[in-house]
Amino acid sequence: MGRTEFSWPRAVAVAADGSIYVADTRNNRVKRLATDGSVISIWGAGGGTTAQAGTGLGEFSNPVGIAVDANGNVLVSDYGNHRIQKLSADGTPLAQWGTYGTEPGQFAYPRGIAVAPTGEIYVAD
């Protein structure tokens, strides 16, 4: 299913079920892979080998960080949109937060992301 090419893959996260999620930065998408490396799904706007950057839920502009929480939800540092997106394991958009800025709740090009066992989310901004 889908293309296997990457352009600047920047981050990888592995879910409890073995699914591998890759932030495919220059292609403006996230790929979900099986343990054998086959593509399960591709998230992001557009089609073809390169997805268009987008601002809607489930769309990305240079995703650079990715993590999976204890419930199997995927968190993505959406660098170009200055936000974090939360998606279900199948790619359904659940939430987003952040806007451009330096105040609490704002980001200026967020990069790394991690989820603590207790559920707190840490973002390198």
As a whole number of angstroms, the distance between CA 32 and CA 34 comes to: 7
> Following CA atoms 104, 110, 112, 115 in sequence, which dihedral angle do they give, to the nearest 10 degrees?
40
State pTM to two decimals. Answer: 0.92
What pLDDT, on the 0 to 100 scale, is given for residue 30?
Answer: 96
Query: Token pair for residue 102?
Result: 């330096």
What pLDDT, on the 0 to 100 scale, is given for residue 32?
Answer: 96
Greatest C-alpha distance within the chain: 42
pLDDT in tens, 85-113: 999 999 999 999 999 999 999 999 999 99
Q: What residues have CB less than 8 Å from 103, skipping those under 6 apart?
A: none
